[in-house]
A = this chain, B = another copy of it.
Amino acid sequence: MKLYCYWRSTTSYRVRIALHLKGVVFDTVPVNLVTDEQARAEYAALNPQRAVPTLATDEGLVLTQSLAIMDYLDAIAPDPGLLPGDAPMRARMLAAALVLASDVHPVNNLRVMKRLKDMGHNQQDCTDWMLHWMAEGLTAFQALIDPDTPFCFGDRPTFADICLIPQLYNAHRWGLDMAPFTRLTDIEARCLALAPFDAARPENQPDAV
């Protein structure tokens, strides 16, 4: 498999964690979002949204959207399961993941920041914007997960943890006050001590600068 991704992209980071957790071997193909490589015709032919990540399988499938890729990986490599449990538990895990994947990340990503700058806003406005949505989303996320389990739900990482860790990477990067989120930073420390999460970290990617 080939994963087209960018080291600092949080959606790329999610899929890297899922691949490493499942022990799926893959090659990284860096796509530089800062120099707009995702807009080139060759890449747009793979991913019409001109976004990362894209997973190209050895069978010729081309998959986009990080949560759809994670769902696919859970079907073809079910151990360990990333959405374990019955329907109500699965719904809780998915809801927590979607708070970050739908309501925080897309509002804060690079294309939105570029648009805000085109509208006359400076970097401080963009940072304030990002921190606002992160604080709101992480507060909701913290209320939705289990209060005292090793990971977000139970004793193993799930979709929720896989969405959380990249979002916390972004929160640290932009200086969010983490004092209200000790439950989340505890989970973060536990996740990052695991080899699959460590291998997926932005700074451990070939395109990290």
The docked-state distance in angstroms from the alpha carbon of A129 to that of B120 is: 13
Instruction: State in angstroms the CA–CA spacing of A156 and B98 once bound together.
Output: 25
Shortest distance from the beta carbon of A96 to any chain B beta carbon, whole Å: 8
How far, in Å, is A31 (CB) from chain B's closest CB?
Answer: 16
For chain A, the bracket of interface size reads 35 or more
Complex Cα–Cα for A159 and B123 (A): 37
- Are B65 and A76 closer than 8 Å at their CB atoms? no
A140 to B44, CA, bound (A): 10
Separation of A127 and B72 alpha carbons in the complex (Å): 36
Known: A65-B95, A107-B107. A90 touches B115 (CB 8 A): no
Contact residues in B for A101 (Cβ distance below 8 Å): 102
Which of these, B64, B95, B99, B139, contacts A95 with CB under 8 Å? B64
Q: Does A190 contact B (CB under 8 A)?
A: no
User: Hey, which chain B residues are within 8 Å of A69, CB to CB?
Assistant: 91, 95
> Which of B51, B61, B87, B143 is close to A76, meaning CB atoms less than 8 Å apart?
B87
Q: Which residues of A contact B (CB under 8 A)?
A: 48-51, 61, 63-65, 67-69, 71-72, 75-76, 87-88, 90-92, 94-95, 98-99, 101-103, 105-107, 112, 115, 119, 121, 125, 129, 132, 137, 139-140, 143-144
Instruction: Known pairs A68-B91, A102-B105; list 6 more (Cβ under 8 Å).
Output: A48-B144, A61-B91, A63-B92, A72-B87, A72-B90, A107-B107
